[in-house]
Amino acid sequence: MKNSDILRKQFLQHVGQTSPSPMMIPVERAEGVFFYTPEGKPYYDLVAGVSVNNVGHGNRAVVEAVKQQAERYMHVMVYGEMIERPQVEYATALAALLPDPLRSIYFVNSGAEAVEGALKLAKRYTGRSEMISMRRAYHGSTHGAMSMMGAPEGEEWKGAFRPLLPGTKAIEFNDFEALAQITEHTACVLCEPVQGEAGVRPPKEGYLQALRERCTKVGALLIFDEIQTGMGRTGEMFAATKYGITPDIMCLAKAFGGGMPLGGFVASNEVMSTLQHNPVLGHITTFGGHPVCCAAGLAALRYMLDNDVVANVERKGALYEALLADHPQVVEIRRSGLLLAVELGSSEKMFRMMELFAEQGIMSDWFLYCDTAFRISPPLIISDEQIRDSVRIIRGCLDMLV
Ligand SMILES: Cc1ncc(COP(=O)(O)O)c(C=O)c1O
C-alpha cells in the first residue's frame, strides 16, 4: 500500500470523524494564500481555515514569535495567576484598539469557550437568566453555545443533544419588531454583527443601533460574537467599530490567535470584575491565554497594523464582488469586507462547484445554514493579482455548471 493510502486509512480509522464525507485533501505545507499536497498540487485557500489565517499561512512574524516564546516558556500556571508578558502585551494592545470601556480581556482557548465565558459573565453581572440569540446563529459546539443556536434552523444540530440550557430564546436577526422581546428579564443578547454561517448576512441600516438601544433600555448586556468578523475580516479591525456600536461584551477567537488556538471575551473592568467574587474564580481555565498563542496573536496583530492590512480589505472584497457578480450563474453576492457568500440559488450547483474547485485547486466551502452559496474568505493579505487569478479559475468552474 502506498504511504498516502495508509495515511488516508489511518485518518478514517483513528481520527474521530463527524462528517460522513470529509474533504480528505492531504496537506504537506502552507504558505501565504496557498496550501500544498504532498505531490505539490497548490490550492488557493479561499476559506483561510474558516476566517483564521488572516495574515496568511506561514507568516514569518508569527512563526518567529511562536519559536521565541516556545523557547522562553510555555505553560507555567493556570490562567490569571502569573504575570506573563505575551498575555499582558496582547491585552494592552487590544485595549488600545477597542472602543471604551472594553478594557479587560479574559483569555480562553477557542470561540465556543469565549461564548461560554461571556454568557456566564452576563448572568453573573445582571443576576438574570434569560438569554436571547439570533436565528441561524452559530456560536460553537459546547452545550451553552449550542443552546444559543437559533431555533428553528439550529434544531437539526441541537435536537439530539437536549436538554440544553433553559431560558434561551431566539429572535430573527434584522427584525426591528422582534427587539420588543428583549425585556427586563433578559440577561443578554448574543449576536454576530454580520451573521456568518447564515450565509453572510450583514445588518440592515440602523438595526445594530436599535438593538444596542433596546438592550441599554432594559438593562440587558449586548454580546457581540466577533469570532468570525473580528481581526479585520469585515474591513475594520472589529465589526463593532465598523458599525459604530459598542457592545458590553465582545467575543474573539479564530484569527485572534494568528493561527494558534486562542479565544477571549472582553468587557469593561466593572463588568469583568464580577467574576472575582460570589463565587471567587467565577471562570477557570488551565490553558486559556497560552503564552505561545498570545505571542502568535500579538505578532499577527502587529503585522496587520504595520502593513496596513485592514485598510485594503474592503477594496479587495469589492474587487472579488465586481469580478464575479456578472457571471450568469451568480444569483447574488452577499459581502462584508473579505467575507463573501456567492449565491448560486441551488445546493446541487453549489456541491458541483465543490467538486470542480477540488479538481482545479480552489479551497472553498459552504455555510452551516446555507448550502446554496460558496464561501470566499481568503487570508486578508491576498494580492490583487491573486484575486484576479483565483477569479479566473472560479469563473472557469462556473462556466462548467449546467
Ligand atoms: C461566529 C462564530 N462563533 C463561534 C464559533 C466557534 O468557535 P470555535 O470553533 O473556536 O469553538 C464560530 C466557529 O465557526 C463562529 O463562526
pLDDT of residue 4: 86
C-alpha of residue 253 to centroid of ligand 1, in Å: 7
pLDDT band of residue 70 (cuts 50, 70, 90) is very high
Three-class DSSP labels, 55-87: CCECCHHHHHHHHHHHHHCCCCCCCCCCCCHHH
pLDDT tens-digit series, residues 348-365? 999 999 999 999 999 999
Across the range 293-308, mean pLDDT stands at 98
Across the range 113-124, mean pLDDT stands at 98
Across the range 323-329, mean pLDDT stands at 98
pLDDT of residue 152: 75
Residue whose C-alpha is closest to residue 243's, from 281, 294, 206, 189? 206
pLDDT tens-digit series, residues 354-397? 999 999 999 999 999 999 999 999 999 999 999 999 999 999 99
pLDDT of residue 163: 94
Q: How far is CA 40 from the centre of its chain?
A: 29
CA angle 53, 54, 56 (to 5 degrees): 65
Q: How far apart are CA 57 and CA 51, in angstroms?
A: 12
Q: What percent of the chain has pLDDT over 90?
A: 94
Which residues are registered as beta bridge partners of 336? 339
Residues contacting ligand 1 via CB (< 6 Å): 50, 110-112, 115, 138-140, 192, 196-197, 225, 227-228, 253
Q: How far apart are CA 279 and CA 120, in angstroms?
A: 12
Give the Cβ contact number of residue 283 at 10 Å: 19
User: Does 66 have pLDDT greater than 90?
Assistant: yes
What is the domain partition of the chain in residue ranges?
Answer: 3-54+309-400, 60-306
Return the ligand 1 atom nearest residue 254 CA: 10
As a dihedral over the C-alpha atoms of residue 114, residue 313, residue 339, residue 150, rounded to 10 degrees, the angle is 40
Strand duo 373-376 + 29-31: pairing: unpaired
Instruction: Give the list of residues 6+ apart from residue 55 with CB closer than 8 angstroms, or none.
Output: 61, 62, 255, 258, 259, 300, 303, 304, 309, 379, 380, 381
User: Does 153 have pLDDT greater than 80?
Assistant: no
Superfamily of domain 3-54+309-400 in CATH is Aspartate Aminotransferase, domain 1 (3.90.1150.10)
C-alpha of residue 295 to centroid of ligand 1, in Å: 21
pLDDT band of residue 174 (cuts 50, 70, 90) is very high
> 3-54+309-400 with 60-306: one CATH topology?
no
pLDDT tens-digit series, residues 86-116? 999 999 999 999 999 999 999 999 999 999 9
pLDDT of residue 116: 98
Residue nearest to atom 16 of ligand 1 (CA): 228
pLDDT tens-digit series, residues 202-214? 999 999 999 999 9
Q: How far apart are CA 102 and CA 334, in angstroms?
A: 30
Q: Please count the residues of the chain.
A: 402
Q: What is the pTM of this model?
A: 0.97
Return the ligand 1 atom nearest residue 112 CA: 11
C-alpha of residue 169 to centroid of ligand 1, in Å: 19
pLDDT of residue 150: 78
Q: How far apart are CA 35 and CA 375, in angstroms?
A: 17
Q: Which CATH number fits domain 60-306: 3.40.640.10, 3.40.50.1110, 1.10.3720.10, 3.30.1600.10?
A: 3.40.640.10
Return the ligand 1 atom nearest residue 110 CA: 10
pLDDT band of residue 260 (cuts 50, 70, 90) is very high
pLDDT tens-digit series, residues 228-248? 999 999 999 999 999 999 999
Mean pLDDT of the chain: 96
Which residue out of 142, 228, 369 has the highest number of ligand 1 atoms within 8 Å of its CB and is therefore the one to mutate? 228
